Amino acid sequence: QAQLVQSGAEVKKPGASLKVSCRASGYTFIEQYINWVRQAPGQGPEWMGRINPNGGGTMYSQKFQGRVTMTRDTSITTVYMEMSRLRSDDTAVYYCARSSRLYYHGMDIWGQGTTVTVS
Amino acid sequence: DIILTQSPLSLPVTPGESASISCRSSQSLVHRDGYDYLDWYLQKPGQAPQLLIYFASYRASGVPDRFSGSGSDTEFTLKIDRVEAEDVGVYYCMQALQTPWTFGQGTKVEVK
């Protein structure tokens, strides 16, 4: 069955950079966008942006433009989210979630989440 | 950005009864393809959000038919019939009409 598996928890110092991975399996990798959604403690989810694995095109929320980079490696069906210049308010659980390129049907498969602590 | 406003923010429910959550959008969510790009997600404690409804009223695969979505344009409702203990968590609406996709504040459903 389709699944997304993320890399493990991270602890970073302010000003450092972060790279989280999301490995896809059980479906055709290039047919689904991968979105990144984060959730700060006690807050609602926040959409950060998405990558099209078919070509690598990206779309970022303006809030994260210039600080976030999403890439993919099709050979290992993995997407990466890099964030630079980390601040304490970047402390959150980061999720990847897929959505269809061809026919929208919501973000139907989510990774387990990666807890990032900036301190 | 599109703002989604949910109500109520907290909803105690009795098992077996029904519950409704409202989501109001600051802009119409009707796409030129005719669909309303409004989703509903449930986040159970300690878990990732899970998709319940997309296009305002289309149930996602595997979602019990106790869950139904309705509405269009700027007003949407999620209804849960015959609430069960496993339905507790925070329910979010989310718009996918325009980026950045945005979520409502969430409605915490608790079983009495």
Number of C-beta neighbours around residue A36 at 10 A: 26
Closest residue in A to B59 (Cα–Cα): A105
Sorted by sequence, the CB contacts under 8 Å of residue B107 that are 6+ apart come out as B6, B7, B8, B9, B10, B11, B21, B90, B91, B92
Both tokens of residue A87? 């601040």
Q: Kindly indicate the confidence band of residue B112, based on its pLDDT and cuts at 50, 70 and 90.
A: confident
Chain segment A8-32, per-residue pLDDT in tens = 999 999 999 999 999 999 999 999 9
How many interface pairs between A and B have CB atoms less than 8 angstroms apart?
61
pLDDT at position A104 is 93
**Rounded to 10 degrees, what is the CA torsion of A41, A45, A47, A48?**
10
Q: Kindly indicate the confidence band of residue A102, based on its pLDDT and cuts at 50, 70 and 90.
A: confident
Q: Closest CB to A104: pick one of B37, B48, B92.
A: B37
Paired strand residues for A116: A10, A92
Tokens 């490995």, residue? A23
Contacts of B59 in chain A (CB under 8 A): none
Chain segment B66-79, per-residue pLDDT in tens = 999 999 999 999 99
Contacts of A36 in chain B (CB under 8 A): none
